[in-house]
Structure 1
Amino acid sequence: MTTAHSVLIPFLPRRPEQVLPYAGLVHWTHAQRLWQGQSLMVEPHHGFVHAAGAGFRVPTGLGVTLMPLRHPYEAALQARSLALATGQPVVAGFGPGAPSLQRGLLGAPYRSPLTAAREYLTAVRGLLAGETVRMAGEYVSCDAALVPFPSPPVELGLGVLRPAMARLAGEVADVAITWLTPAAYLRDTVLPALREGAAKAGRPVPRLTAMVPLALSRTDRTPGEMALASNAVHLGLPHYIDMLRKSGIGITGTDRESDARALVEGRGFLSGDLGELVAQLKEYEDAGVDEIVLNVTGVAHLHGPQAATDELKTILAALA
């Protein structure tokens, strides 16, 4: 197996032209795909289409967009529209989001995020396959079909942190998308659950995509500072705290600076010189990851987008 390397836009774009340098990296290097997490500024679909209009028609990944923001019909329509606009494959990743978001947009949090994700991805898959989807589920109601039209492939991704969601991804997704997950945790916990779910459904094991936060060590940086700049919000979220503890990283959930240092020590955030980073990324390949997405969000937050672009160029060149 050859592990692919891809690029994450390391900030939330405020103008669509800010996407272009990162689309250019995918266009001009061996990077396979351009990824964007959920943004509440320039919406990811729009940023990617802007890049396509500027001449950077590259494969894209939505990792992940939040289910409460759009009905599955709209999700399927937007993903296919992105594939048509770019002329390239799309990985449309979805996740239920935090309970506070669910409550704010839907009136109440999902009683079962697993059931909500199963219904959502089942509806989107049927619509993209050209079916008339008739569903009256606990969370998804749909009696509709997309207007048929050929497009580049759209694969379905599911955001995965813990075993139950990984088993569900094995049943219903094409790609399992992880964030902040150490390589050993992917090898020992996530991949076995993916295989279990796929075996239950009698289907191939989904590909595993890992968003890996990292930064080169330099004299003007400390690893803990970079890890905190990259993941301060995640270190306070209960599902990330639980996952990191299950992976053997003893974070407190209250002392962010201490937790950031623990994240570095436990290989949830990668730091080192170029050779050390390449070796640490090899651990993800050895763990069975199909696609490593380079996430230099901490660099962008502390040193700006140009430094982040330069860092990605350096790391991609070493990985080529």
Structure 2
Amino acid sequence: MPRIGAIFQPSFPPERLRAAVEAAESAGVPELWLWEDCFRESAFATAAAALAWTEHLKVGIGIAPMPLRNVALTAMEIATIERMFPGRLLPGVGHGVLDWMGQVGARVASPLTLMREYVPALRALLAGEEVTTSGRYVKLDRVKLDWPPAVAPRILAAGEGPKTLHLTGEVADGTIIPGGASAERIAESAAVVRAGRAAAGRDGDSEVIVFVLAAFGGDEARERALADLRHWDATADPGRIAAGSVDDVVATIRRYEEAGADAVILQPTGDEPDLEGFYGKVGEVVRAAAA
């Protein structure tokens, strides 16, 4: 069975976060993921708070936009949190929504070039190396962290299109695939990620993490989840959500597992009426899947 976690969407305000993370830990949810959507909560501030409020919960960042953040600053943020809460941060980076990047003057002409330069530099800095590079976007002159983590965390990168997915396999330790993808699409995407890793001559597997929109309950819950998905994709079909009973959601997770997902992270709708209850249900899913 893949790893199972949940998401705290930034459609909910920051003051809702503490109750959410405490509900997730209490319910036995292993991982809670955060987003850095513009112009809502910042990723690293919320991650540090969530880790400080809990004892065992792992916190994922899915994702922090690379154009918004100098790579040295991102390395400093990750290293600081990793040293304070060893082994509990799951950091992810990505292109960010291009329109949002344009709004803040950070949009780059070639997001693929940025990822190709950024992720290796980030991984090297977190490994304690001194980095000098002069790329199109990433420029570092003898930069070395004073406080690198004792063990560098795996760096994840988000992707949807085939070029980006291939590149995540080449340069990252795992790939985050945003919500809305069908199991069939995940199978195709996982193959592209594996091909990228093989092309780069890297050993081992590249983890595939999938976000899946979820709602618990009857027809109303299904319609709410489908409406949320169709807000972004008007043609989306019900096979791309996990909705219904705990057993129904477990069955959906198994489909994504068969397609190649190593982790399935359940995403509440933006108008989830009982957010803490949602995390309670995710905890039930974790236990049912392990039974």
Helix, strand or coil: the match of 2:212? strand
1:37 corresponds in structure 2 to 35
Which of 270, 273, 283 is matched with 2:255 structurally? 283
* Cα-to-partner distance string for 1:63-102 (whole Å, 9 max, x where unaligned): 0111122100011111111212222242211111122222
One-letter amino acid of the structure 2 residue matched with residue 117 of structure 1 = M
Name the structure 2 match of 1:213. Answer: 213
TM-score, with structure 2 as normaliser: 0.88
- Give the counterpart letter for 1:291 in structure 2: A
Deviation at 1:312, TM superposition (A): 2.4
Equivalent pair of 1:89/1:152 in contact (CA under 8 Å) = no
Amino acid corresponding to residue 288 of structure 2 in structure 1: A
Q: Which runs of 4+ in 1 moved over 4 A?
A: none
Q: How many residues align?
A: 286
| Residues 1:16 and 1:214: Cα distance change in structure 2 (over 3 Å) | same
Closer, same or farther: CA 316–150 of 1 in aligned 2, 3 Å: closer
Instruction: Provide structure 1 residue ranges, at least 5 long, that are not aligned to the other structure.
Output: 236-258
User: Which of 1 and 2 has higher RCO (CA within 8 Å, sep 6+)?
Assistant: 2
Q: Say whether the 8 Å CA contact 2:91–2:155 is kept in structure 1.
A: yes
Alignment of 1:4-43 (within 5 A): 4-15=3-14, 18-26=17-25, 29=28, 31-39=29-37, 40-43=39-42
- 2:209 counterpart letter in structure 1: T
Displacement of 1:159: 0.6
Instruction: Give deviations 1:144-173, integer Å, cap 9, x for gaps.
Output: 111144434411111111211111011100
* 1:308 shift after superposition: 2.5
Pair 1:230–1:56, CA change in 2 (3 A):
farther
- Name 2:276's counterpart in structure 1: 306
Cα distance change on mapping 1:310 and 1:149 into 2, 3 Å: closer
| TM-score when normalising by structure 1 | 0.81
Q: Once structures 1 and 2 are overlaid, which stretch shifts more, 86-95 or 67-76?
A: 86-95
Note if contact 2:119-2:171 (Cα within 8 Å) is conserved in structure 1: yes
CA contact (8 A) 1:170 1:198 kept: yes
1:304 and 1:27 mapped to 2: Cα distance?
A: 16
Q: Aligned in 2, Cα 1:28/1:307: closer, same or farther, shift over 3 Å?
A: closer
Distance 1:130 1:28, change over 3 A: same
- The 1:145–1:11 alpha-carbon spacing in structure 2 relative to 1, beyond 3 Å, is same
Out of 236, 244, 253, the position equivalent to 1:263 is: 236
1:278 Cα deviation from its structure 2 partner: 1.6
Give 2:264's aligned residue.
292
Match of 1:181 in 2: 181
The structure-2 alpha-carbon separation of the partners of 1:51 and 1:275, relative to structure 1 and needing over 3 Å to count, comes to closer
Counterpart position of 1:3: 2
Tell me if the contact between 1:89 and 1:153 (Cα under 8 Å) persists in the aligned partners: no
| 1:1-320 alignment, distance < 5 Å | 2-15=1-14, 18-26=17-25, 29=28, 31-39=29-37, 40-106=39-105, 109-143=107-141, 144-179=143-178, 180-187=180-187, 189-203=188-202, 204-219=204-219, 221=220, 223-229=222-228, 232=231, 234-235=232-233, 259=234, 262-265=235-238, 267-298=239-270, 301-320=271-290
CA distance 1:92–1:192, shift in 2 (3 Å): same
Structure 1: which amino acid aligns with 2:14?
A: R
CA separation in 1, counterparts of 2:24 and 2:12?
16
